[in-house]
Structure 1
Amino acid sequence: MFGNEEVTIHLPENFDYLPHELKLLCWPNYPMRCLPSKFRPEKLVKFKMVNNKLEKLWEGIALPCLKKINLWGSVNLIEMPNLSKATNLETLKLVDCYSLVKLPSSIPHPNKLKYLYLSNCRNVETIPTGISLKSLEVLNLNGCSRLRNFPQISTNISYLSIDGTSIEELPSNLSLRFENLNTFQMHSLKKLSQRVQLVQLLTLLTLSPSLRYLHLSYIPTLVELPFSFQNLHKLAILEIRNCENLETLPTRIYLQSLRFLDLSGCSKLRTFPDISTNIEDLNLSKTAIEEVPPWIEKFTNLHKLEMKGCVNLETLPTGINLPSLECLNLSGCSRFRDFLISQPTLHTSI
């Protein structure tokens, strides 16, 4: 694609050549099932071939210079080649490689692998023990629905997503302190059946002084959050959605950095959250909250309050002043009565 012009390349059926001196190979929508058989990519530094028709790559070739592999959307790719000698590899992106069954069997330590993206590799069942993740900073396993083993990850990890995996248990020796963890996402982890393991993981996360974004959703074993959540001094975004058995939040804690709180769909939650007064965006839709306390006036930075479908909510305190509130959504609150908020610019949906 050059500017707004689409360029179509017609390859002969006997196409079987790429120069061995290549350092950068970027070819989106590559139409062939394999690379040229005589191609020796020993000098390759960056390999980017997204949305291609490849079924296999090279075999038995050392890749000492290779730093980045991006095979996003390689829907026909079944297996990765041996990367045991790619010790300078920093980034491996295999997002939406639906047919991929096996990862490379070995990426030994020491290596420089920092970024591993396996989103929606739905046929990958294990991460081989030969893949060293000791240097890893970002690991995205979102949508790896057959993955059952929790990876032995680096203590340097800053981003970890295990959304939609089939992880059933945590390692018994899981004692990592995620000191650099910035983002953690866990969604639809229904097979993590033992509540004690979930509490173990949540408690472990609270040892992460750098954590800024935490997303937990569709986790039926989540009943409460540990009091140790008070240690998350840098947490800015907390999303706990559709955790149908969550009943309470910790009390007498204060998350000074929290700006965005989403508890929507936590249908057993009855208590209005009192964990930060610095919240700007608060979503309590489809919870069991019955009343909004008068001390909501302390939420002086609150711009948006959503309580859609809170069928137990009957009223708001009258005469309260929320100077920053711009949007209030109470649609579907069937028991709701009249209220008054001193805010002339407020947009209200009832």
Structure 2
Amino acid sequence: MIGIYGTGGIGKTTIARVVYDSFSSQFEASSFLHDVRETYERQGLVYLQKKLLSDILMERNIIVKSKYAGVQLIKHSLCNKKVLLVFDDVGDWDQLWSLVGERGRYGPGSRIIITTRDKHLPMALEVDEIYSPAEMSNDEALRLFSLTCFGSEHTPEDKNCLRMHRLLQQMGREIVCRECPKWPWRRSRLWLPEDIDAVLTDNMGTDAINSIVLNLPVQKKVHWHPEAFSKIPNLQLLKIHNVQLQHELTHFPNGLRFVEWSGYSSKSLPSNFEPEKLVELIMCHSNIELLWKGVKKLYRLRSIKLSHSQNLISTPDFSEAPWLKRINFEGCTNFVNVHPSVGVLRRLTLLNLKDCTSLKSLPRKLEMKSLEILILSGCSKVKEIPEFAKDMERLRELHLNGTTIKYLPSSIEHLTGLTLLNLSHCENLVGLPRAVFRMEYLKEFYVFGCSKLGEE
């Protein structure tokens, strides 16, 4: 047995992987259990035991009724085999005992490698060797990172993206759990599936909760109480993935700042939801037909993304969304109408309506002085392009490929900053205005597949 310990990111997993890849073929059976600690938190010990047994016995449908049954099954399956096993990032003694166990569990010639951040775990098993990789200096680490990721010794700009190290994430989670170890509904943040399901199914929410993040590996039907969110008035962040509601929700907290819910199964958001504080809304692959009726006060909204929501019919009225910067409705195949308010969003930088194959109606005129990218690719029922206002010189990319337009508006001359114009496969296009050939910054111009071009 060999133990490799050190802080996160120092290279323990990389070392273990190199050894495993180099020597696994010399053993009767082998298994590399990656990220034991995090997998344990998300899916439990029994899942890890089944994965280990599946690798060793090369069988898929292995039944393990409990972790204690799993321990006995592992012991029985490994006692006469020469195996190479790697247990990566083991977090505590329960994981160590249930997966690795005592030395006598393995056949002659077996090799066991354990990586961990806790030096005492391999010591408790009395491993043969304990190795701790030497840390690089800050300058060496930054140089290596830059060369590997960017091909240069200098890191590029971060583009306003914020990242958090996994150690900080883990530390934050432990702090939150200590807020109230026994009663999750009294914690400020919920991310464990069993905690979230218990709180929302039994309608036990409280005003202590301000964040819920549920990211399930496979889709699951849930029986959350219809009014589950009514008792969580201070919820600000809601992120849900792979959940199929069995009951229609009647309430969303009005204090929500960020909502990401892929596959949202209802036809609209709760009618009493007032999204005045909402900053970003992401609901891809949803069943939404119309987000809400009438005008909502969206004074803080910056971004909305409902791409591939097949039932979506129209954009909402964005008259009260003065700070909206990004709209992405790509792949909404039943999408028919763009509300006129979209055409006067002065701070909008992206409008993506790609592959909205039912789209027919656009605002008559676009007065969007901040717009940088307009995508109408694949909108096969769009026959006319709106007029462009004089102050739209910031538009850099105009994607009209696959539309059925016959002409470009003469006001395209106002798009003096255009660098890309895509008109490919516009099969009804018969002519181009002279202004296109006078565009100083145009670098990419696509017109292939325009079979009628030049007929007039």
The answer (yes or no) to whether the contact 2:355–2:378 under 8 Å persists in 1 is yes
- Runs of 4 or more above 6 Å deviation: none
C-alpha contact (below 8 Å) 1:79/1:103 kept by paired residues: no
Letter in 1 for 2:346: H
Cα shift at 1:273: 3.5
Partner of 2:212: 92
Q: Distance in 2 between matches of 1:284 and 1:208?
A: 26
Other structure's SS at 2:281 match = strand
Q: Identity over aligned residues, as a percent? A: 20
8 Å CA contact retained: 2:311, 2:335: no
Residue type of the partner of 2:236? K
Supply the distance in 1 between the matched residues of 2:11 and 2:447 (Cα, whole angstroms): 45
* 1:101-148 deviations in Å (ceiling 9; x for gaps): 327643554643211111343x2344644x65221111112233x344
* Alpha-carbon contact 2:224-2:245 (below 8 Å) kept: no
* Structure 1 residue aligned with 2:374: 261
Matches within 5 A, 1:23-172: 27-30=37-40, 31-32=44-45, 46-47=172-173, 61-64=183-186, 66-70=187-191, 80-82=197-199, 84=204, 87-102=207-222, 105=225, 106-109=228-231, 111-121=233-243, 123-126=244-247, 128-129=249-250, 132-144=252-264, 146-151=265-270, 152-153=272-273, 154-168=275-289
- 255-264 or 285-294: bigger deviation: 285-294
Q: 1:79 to 1:250 in 2, by over 3 A?
A: closer
In 1, the alpha carbon distance for the partners of 2:408 and 2:335 equals: 24
Could you tell me which of 413, 416, 424 is aligned with 1:300? Answer: 416
Q: Provide the TM-score with structure 2 as the length reference.
A: 0.54
Question: How many Å separate the matches in 2 of 1:68 and 1:336?
Answer: 59
Residue 79 of structure 1, CA deviation: 6.6
How far the C-alpha of 1:304 sits from its partner, in A, is 1.0
Judged with a 3 Å threshold, the aligned counterparts in structure 2 of structure 1 residues 284 and 100 are, in CA distance, closer, same or farther, namely: same
Over the aligned positions, Cα root-mean-square deviation in angstroms equals: 3.8
**Larger Rg, first or second structure (1 or 2):** 2
Gaps of 5+ in 2: 1-7, 17-35, 48-66, 68-169, 175-179
> Secondary structure in 2 aligned to 1:101?
strand
Moved more, 207-216 or 219-228: 219-228
The one-character-per-residue Cα deviations of 1:194-220 (angstroms, maximum 9, x if unpaired) are x6xx3xx522x2321121111223445
CA–CA separation in structure 1 for the residues paired with 2:198 and 2:240: 16
* 8 Å Cα contact 2:242-2:262 kept in structure 1: yes
Which amino acid letter does the alignment assign opposite residue 433 of structure 2?
Answer: P
Aligned residues: 290
Instruction: Measure how far apart 1:266 and its partner are.
Output: 1.0
**Match of 1:100, SS?**
strand
Contact persistence 2:209–2:232 (CA under 8 A): no
Among residues 6, 10, 23, which one is paired with 2:13 in the alignment?
6
Bigger helix fraction? 2
CA 1:232–1:217 in structure 2 vs 1: closer, same or farther (change >3 Å)? same
Partner Cα separation in structure 2 for residue 90 and residue 301 of structure 1: 43
Distance 1:169 1:272 in 2: 24
What residue ranges of structure 1 are gaps of 5+ in the alignment? 9-25, 37-43, 49-57, 339-350
Q: CA deviation at 1:334?
A: 3.0
3-state SS of paired residue (1:95): strand
Kindly state the Cα deviation for residue 100 of structure 1 after the two structures are TM-superposed. 3.4
Aligned with residue 213 of structure 1, among 319, 326, 330 = 326
Compared CA separation, residues 110 and 245, structure 1 to 2 (3 A): closer
**Judging changes above 3 Å, is the alpha-carbon distance between structure 1 residues 150 and 290 closer, same or farther for their aligned structure 2 residues?**
same
